Structure 1
Amino acid sequence: MKRHLLILVLITVSIQSFSQNIDTDIFNNLTYESQDRLYKSYFKRNIFGDLIFSDNRSNEVTLKKEYIELKYGHLSDNSQEKNDVFINMIYQYRKDKNYKVTYSIDIFNKIVIEDNRNGKIEIGKDFFGNETYNENVDGESKSIERNFNGALEYKANNENAILEKDSFNKWTYKDSFGNELKFSSKTWNRFINNFGTEENIFHYLINEFLHL
């Protein structure tokens, strides 16, 4: 499930490779058809204001209206941002099949992501306003939180990782696979430009080096 979370956090796909085949129907819904016409997908808004991605491989992603408002503010029908989200979903799910996931907001203002593969993710805030991340897949729990020193810690049943800053403002990533990466200020600034937040960078590093 970890890969499916990042799709709506990061815009990392080459837009040009997909955007040429995207059309808008008379209801302002987006449609896509691959050049070989074997893959088709759709991005539609329902009467409740939710956006729903679906394709001819029986995948379905539902973005509830409250989630859209919290995450994006507003995704207007003609916005480039809406196109970008659609393109990322095409890239993410075009090789998957029968996957269904819903992004919503609960009564505690937490982001809740639940799928049909026994996966659930909750993203909220701790007492100090720091982001918290809790994932449960088939009974296996994973979490990301900040410790009292400001470092980001990832904990799971058989693995862990940490992203911390030293007294010289240099960031280091370490994990239970024995990986240790130190980043120069220039590299770190590029990460921030690409990923936006320290939490997003940590997710990326975990997926790249701990979840190969």
Structure 2
Amino acid sequence: MRTHILCLFILVINIQGFSQKIETDIFDDLKFESRDKQYTASLKRNIFDDLIFSDSRDNKITLENKYLHLEHQGVFENSEEKINLFRNLIHDYRHDEKYEQTYAVDILDKVVIQDNRNGKVEYGKDIFGNQTYSEKSNGIEKSMKRNFQGGLDYNENNKTATLQKDLYNRWKYVDSSGNEFVFGDRTWNSLKGKFKTEEDIFFSLIKAFFND
């Protein structure tokens, strides 16, 4: 399962020359052709105000209108933002082939990302306003949600991790790989300053320690 990530430093290095090759047609759609003319791509707006990325390698990425308003506000009014989105899509998919993916928002306002390789990601908020995340890709299922004690639970194919306050009101991370960390106020405040939300802190800890 692939999700494109914006503003990567390496992306800036790799596609500095792309702007010279990106053109806007009379319909305000974007087109790109590589210098060797071996790769072409386009970003078009359909009648439903979705954006459709397609290229000469038979990749197709659909960003539905509701998703664009949620995650890319102003993309239709800001030409530079639209071009940057196009650049990212080119970078993410130009080495793939026959890959299809749709970014949508369901009736519960959850973002749903699905592809033609049995991959699926869902994220949003539950009825209490807490962030939730689930992913299925290559036979692996992952999920993150807030528990009734106010902590966070993560599951990945029967392996688990939790981020929960202990009896002394300190945040504690524990996972099924045997990792256990208790954070003092200074360390926790530093993490909050860097990652902003408890969910983002939790994901950073999972990425760093979960599979150790």
Q: Which moved more, 1:199-208 or 1:21-30?
A: 199-208
Q: 2:145–2:153: 8 Å Cα contact kept in structure 1?
A: yes
The equivalent of 1:21 in structure 2 is 18
Residue of structure 1 equivalent to 2:8: 12
Larger Cα Rg: Structure 1 or Structure 2?
Answer: 2
Query: 1:199: how far off?
Result: 3.5
Q: How does 1:22-61 map to 2 (within 5 A)?
A: 22=19, 23-26=22-25, 27-61=27-61
Indicate how the Cα distance of structure 1 residues 156 and 118 shifts in structure 2: closer, same or farther if over 3 A, else same.
Answer: same
Question: TM-score when scaled to structure 2?
Answer: 0.74
Alignment gaps of 5+ in structure 2: none
Is 2:186 aligned against 1:190?
no
Identity of aligned residues (%): 45
CA contact (8 A) 1:29 1:77 kept: no
Instruction: Tell me the secondary structure at the aligned position of residue 21 of structure 1.
Output: helix
Q: Distance in 2 between matches of 1:205 and 1:78?
A: 36
Distance 2:101 2:150 in 1: 32
AA aligned opposite 1:128: F
CA distance in 1, matches of 2:31, 2:95: 17
Change (3 A) 1:144 1:17: same
RMSD: 3.4
Cα separation, 2, equivalents of 1:76 and 1:85: 11
- Does the CA contact (< 8 Å) of 1:122 and 1:134 recur in 2? yes
User: Which residue does the alignment assign to 2:151?
Assistant: 151
What letter is aligned with 2:7?
A: I
TM-score (norm 1): 0.74
Q: Number of residue pairs matched?
A: 204
Greater than 6 Å deviation, 4+ residue runs: 165-172
